[in-house]
């Protein structure tokens, strides 16, 4: 299995632009997570999907952030408009059904820089 796939791996954009991050979870996994990593706060859960349905979006910073999961094999995290404080590494993770948190598999991350 190729693992969790994220694209792009690096993104540099200017303030005000729209940014879309993409994730392909591991086949058969029914839970998907978006995390953001910063130096100060470590990894923060942004949103959690189960069976393509958003279950917990309490970590989404503000209305500029949105996430979708149109099917079991694809999810997007969109930032519109982007701001310099959004610069971070964004991870997607997926988890098989009926398992604990230790089975969350993380993708390699997208490093976002907003100028």
Partner 1 sequence: DQQVKQNSPSLSVQEGRISILNCDYTNSMFDYFLWYKKYPAEGPTFLISISSIKDKNEDGRFTVFLNKSAKHLSLHIVPSQPGDSAVYFCAASAVDYKLSFGAGTTVTVRA
Kindly list the residues in this chain that would bind partner 1 in the complex (CB under 8 A).
Answer: 4, 31, 33, 35, 39-45, 48, 50, 55-56, 91, 93, 95, 100-109
Q: Least distance to partner 1 from the beta carbon of 81, Å?
A: 27
12 vs 87: CA distance, rounded Å: 9
Beta carbon nearer to partner 1, 44 or 83: 44
Q: Least distance to partner 1 from the beta carbon of 15, Å?
A: 25
Beta carbon nearer to partner 1, 70 or 100: 100
26 vs 11: CA distance, rounded Å: 23
Q: Least distance to partner 1 from the beta carbon of 31, Å?
A: 6
User: Helices H, strands E: what count in the chain?
Assistant: 0, 11
| Phi, psi torsion values for 25, nearest 5 degrees | -75, 170
35 vs 47: CA distance, rounded Å: 7
């Amino acid at each position: 299995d190729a693992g969790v796939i994220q694209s792009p791996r690096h993104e540099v954009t200017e303030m005000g632009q729209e940014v879309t991050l993409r994730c392909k979870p591991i086949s058969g996994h029914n839970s998907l997570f978006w995390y953001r990593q910063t130096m100060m706060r470590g990894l923060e859960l942004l949103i959690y999907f189960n069976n393509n349905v958003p279950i917990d979006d309490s970590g989404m910073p503000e209305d500029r952030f949105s996430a979708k999961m149109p099917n079991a094999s694809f999810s997007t995290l969109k930032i519109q408009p982007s701001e310099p404080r959004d610069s971070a590494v964004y991870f997607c993770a997926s988890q098989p059904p009926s398992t604990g948190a230790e089975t969350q598999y993380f993708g390699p991350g997208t490093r976002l820089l907003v100028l």
